[in-house]
């Protein structure tokens, strides 16, 4: 799929948000429109000693090592096509997709180590061209995983919008530099928030938020689980299935928000989040690593129930006070009648 990126010509500010999709197995083409008609091209990995039908480039290389490979670019349009070729570092977007830095951004990993044999390629209609590239890993490169891509780019002017549109199509490069691999994920900023119900006898909902931080040197995803408990570990409630985060590059973070329903308000609330890191090797085999967890504490006060208790207590006290006052008045009236009777008897006796 081609990726549009934009660079503004002098005029009103306009930003077009670009989406980048990396090539998958076989051919993957996307249309880019030029002034003289439709322009379409595809990219794929070259068939060589690394494989005949690869979905992307994947290498393991020692520090100071070198990799030579190639990309095949095919022109599917009816006019000659000139494309810029370059490499760029990868990063995970806020939607969990892998994207590549634009040509004006500085790369420090794969984008800085990979270089095409030529900066541009001209392809005749219906023809294809093989573009060799070399990946040279510095001798002092830190062991671990790096992700980037080899890109083809076509820049076109859009006079109607006053912008330059950059259409990109590329193939992912995953590179593992040999050395001690330290896969590690950490849970940061764990927090729990409880929201009760207006029904004093109903359970409430809680929201658990945290950040997954890849603090190791390997590309990692994870299985996630979240549970809540009340005082002394009782009243335990588990969250439902939680989607796995995208594979995070070393140093990247991913924010997670987990709703938990049917939580019993026990005044205090403990939230425990657990991650089981998932490491995928070059063959595509995924290994589950040692789980890591974190716990945070919050409040789950049953305000509706407390309010009901307060109201019932107040009503009970008011009833008792009213009864006491009634008894006091009744006794006072009885005492007054007795006193009147005594005085009346004394008067009659005196007479």
Q: Is the pLDDT of residue 341 over 90?
A: no
When comparing pLDDT for 305 and 135, which is higher? 135
pLDDT band at residue 351 using 50, 70 and 90 as cut-offs: confident
**What is the per-residue DSSP string for 52-111?**
SS-SSEEEEE-TT-EEEEEEEEEE-SSS-EEEEEEEEEEEE-TTS-EEE--TTSPPSSHH
Tokens, residue 160: 């109607």
pLDDT tens digits along 20-53: 333 333 333 333 333 345 789 999 999 999 998 8
Owner of token pair 């109607």: 160
Strand partners, 166: 5, 155
CB of 30 closer than 8 Å to CB of 169: yes
Q: Evaluate if pTM is beyond 0.85.
A: no
Q: Is the pLDDT of residue 118 over 90?
A: yes
**What is the per-residue DSSP string for 179-196?**
S-----EEEEEEEEEEE-
Rounded Cα distance between 250 and 105, Å, is 19
**Strand pairing category for 163-177 and 57-61:** parallel
10 Å CB burial of residue 33 (0-12, 13-18, 19+) is middle
Rounded Cα distance between 146 and 249, Å, is 7
CB of 289 closer than 8 Å to CB of 277: yes
**DSSP H/E element including 317:** helix 303-350
Q: Is the pLDDT of residue 18 over 80?
A: no
For position 13, what pLDDT does the model report? 29
**Strand pairing category for 81-92 and 120-123:** antiparallel
Centroid of chain to Cα 237: 23
Rounded Cα distance between 62 and 106, Å, is 24
Rounded Cα distance between 3 and 155, Å, is 11
For position 159, what pLDDT does the model report? 54
Tokens, residue 122: 């001209």
Q: Map residue 152 onto helix, strand or coil.
A: strand
CA angle 287, 289, 291 (to 5 degrees): 145
pLDDT tens digits along 240-254: 999 999 999 999 999
pLDDT tens digits along 138-189: 999 999 999 999 999 998 766 556 677 888 999 999 999 999 999 999 999 9
Mean pLDDT taken over the chain: 86
pLDDT tens digits along 206-265: 999 999 999 999 999 999 999 999 998 899 999 999 999 999 999 999 999 999 999 999
Rounded Cα distance between 275 and 161, Å, is 47
Q: Where are the beta strands (DSSP E) in the chain?
A: 3-8, 28-34, 37-45, 57-61, 66-75, 81-92, 98-100, 114-116, 120-123, 128-136, 144-158, 163-177, 185-195, 204-214, 220-229, 237-238, 253-263, 267-280, 286-288, 292-300
């Amino acid at each position: 799929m081609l990726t549009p990126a934009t660079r503004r010509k002098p005029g009103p500010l306009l930003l077009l948000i670009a989406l980048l999709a990396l090539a998958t197995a076989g051919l993957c083409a996307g249309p880019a429109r030029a002034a003289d008609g439709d322009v379409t091209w595809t990219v794929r990995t070259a068939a060589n000693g690394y494989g005949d039908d690869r979905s992307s480039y994947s290498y393991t290389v020692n520090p100071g090592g070198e990799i030579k490979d190639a990309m095949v670019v095919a022109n599917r349009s009816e006019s000659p096509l000139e494309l810029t070729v370059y490499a760029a570092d990868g990063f995970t977007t806020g939607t969990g997709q892998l994207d590549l830095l634009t040509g004006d951004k500085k790369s420090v990993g794969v984008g800085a180590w990979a270089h095409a044999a030529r900066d541009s390629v001209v392809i005749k209609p219906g023809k294809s061209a093989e573009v060799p590239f070399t990946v040279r890993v510095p001798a002092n490169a830190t062991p671990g995983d790096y992700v980037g891509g080899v890109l083809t780019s076509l820049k076109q002017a859009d006079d109607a919008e006053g912008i330059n549109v950059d259409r990109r199509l590329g193939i992912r490069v995953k590179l593992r530099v040999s050395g001690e691999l330290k896969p590690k994920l950490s849970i940061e900023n764990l927090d729990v928030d409880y929201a009760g119900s207006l029904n004093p006898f109903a359970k409430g909902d809680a929201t658990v938020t945290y950040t997954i931080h890849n603090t190791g040197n390997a590309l990692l995803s994870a299985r996630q689980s979240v549970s809540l408990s009340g005082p002394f570990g009782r009243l335990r409630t588990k969250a439902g299935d939680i989607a796995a985060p995208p594979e995070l590059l070393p140093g990247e973070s991913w924010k997670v928000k987990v709703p938990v329903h049917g939580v019993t308000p026990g005044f205090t609330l403990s939230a425990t989040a657990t991650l089981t890191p998932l490491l995928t090797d070059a063959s595509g085999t995924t290994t589950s690593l040692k789980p890591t967890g974190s716990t945070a504490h919050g409040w789950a006060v049953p305000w509706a129930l407390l309010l009901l208790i307060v109201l019932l207590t107040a009503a009970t006290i008011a009833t008792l006070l009213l009864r006491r006052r009634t008894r006091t008045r009744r006794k006072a009236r009885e005492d007054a009648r007795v006193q009147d009777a005594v005085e009346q008897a004394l008067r009659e006796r005196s007479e």
